Amino acid sequence: MATNATTWFYAEPEHSGYLLEERVNHTFWAHRIADVYFDCVSAEPPFKMVGVWRGQPLTIEWVPKDYFTLTTTPGPNTDQLLVGIQEILGFLPAVSYIQPDGQQVTHWYFSNVHERLQAIQGNPNYQGIKRYTK
């Protein structure tokens, strides 16, 4: 199945866990993020999937044409994963931070970027806030 982010991020995908898994997994594999397999947790917006990549547990969540969020444990391969997802979506992430539980969260925002960044920057629970710019 040839697929890319236009079938699940830039358009409303089918609300079928199996089809979401097929589309997202194939998209990641086609972009050389090979050692991952996602399982669908929610087939309704916000869509949510969990997986493991190179020993790192991952959670992805998105609403088509709105946002995409990656949550993972920080590790040596995290930057490589972020670059791969940037290639899949076609734009830079907006911000990343560490939650109180030690998980790294990275957000790609399709709209309302400035307002969303202000909400994150104003939250004292988030550490290591990093903004991404060209």
For 73-124, the pLDDT digits (tens) are: 998 889 999 999 999 999 999 999 999 999 999 999 988 888 888 888 888 9
CA distances from 21 to 15, 16, 73 (A): 11, 9, 22
- The predicted-structure confidence for 22-65, as pLDDT tens digits, reads as follows 999 999 999 999 889 999 999 999 999 999 999 899 999 999 99
Residue of 103 and 2 predicted with greater confidence = 103
Q: What is the pTM of this model?
A: 0.93
Query: CA-CA distances (angstroms) from residue 127 to 31, 51, 112?
Result: 30, 24, 22
Is residue 95 a contact partner of residue 117, using CB atoms and an 8 Å limit?
A: yes
pLDDT of residue 2: 63
pLDDT at residue 75 in the model: 84
Using DSSP's 3-state secondary structure scheme, residue 34 falls into coil
DSSP string, 40-83: EEESSSSEEEEEEETTEEEEEEEETTTEEEEEE---TTHHHHHH
- The pLDDT value given to residue 119: 85
Residue 118: predicted pLDDT: 86
Give the model's pLDDT for residue 39.
98
Q: What angle do CA 31, 36, 42 make, to 5 degrees?
A: 105
Cβ burial 9-32 (10 Å sphere, 16+ → b, else e): beeebeeebebbbbbbbebbeebe
Predicted local distance difference test score (pLDDT) of residue 34: 87
pLDDT band per the 50, 70, 90 thresholds, residue 1: low
Burial degree of 68 (CB within 10 A; 0-12, 13-18, 19+) = buried
